[in-house]
Amino acid sequence: MDERKPSKVIIHFDLDVLDMKEFRSLLVAYPGTYEENKKRFPSGSSMETIIRVLQDVAKSYEVVGLGITEHFPWDALFLQNMLSRLPLIGDINKNEHPSFHIL
C-alpha cells in the first residue's frame, strides 16, 4: 500500500459554492433570473464557513496555490456596456447596444 502523506496542497475555490444571497457576482445570480434562481438553487456556503474551512486546511498543510474561479460580476459588465457609449469614455455614435439586464 502506497501511504502518501501530503504536506502541500493547492486549493481550487469555485465561488459558486457561496450562497448567492450573500455573494452575487456569480453566473447564476444574473439580475434577470436572480429571484427565480434564489428559489431554484439550494443555499450555498456562507463566506465565514469558507474562511474557516480554508483556514483549517492552511493550519494542517502548506498552501502553495489558491485558484479562485466562477467570478462573474454582472454589475461590472453592465457598467462597461454603459460606459462604452458615453462621451469622452466611449463612442456616442455606437450603433450596437449591449444588453444591461437581458441575455
pLDDT tens sequence for the chain (103 residues):
668 888 999 999 999 999 988 999 998 888 888 889 888 887 899 999 999 999 999 999 999 999 999 999 999 988 888 888 899 888 888 777 766 655 5
Residues 48, 46, 76, CA angle at the centre, nearest 5°? 105
Secondary structure (3-state) at 2: coil
pTM for this prediction:
0.74
The amino acid sitting at 80 is Q
What are the structural domain ranges in the chain? 8-72, 75-103
Residues 23, 72, 27, CA angle at the centre, nearest 5°? 80
> Which grid cell is 36?
427565480
Secondary structure (3-state) at 89: coil
DSSP output for 76-89 = HHHHHHHHTTSTTT
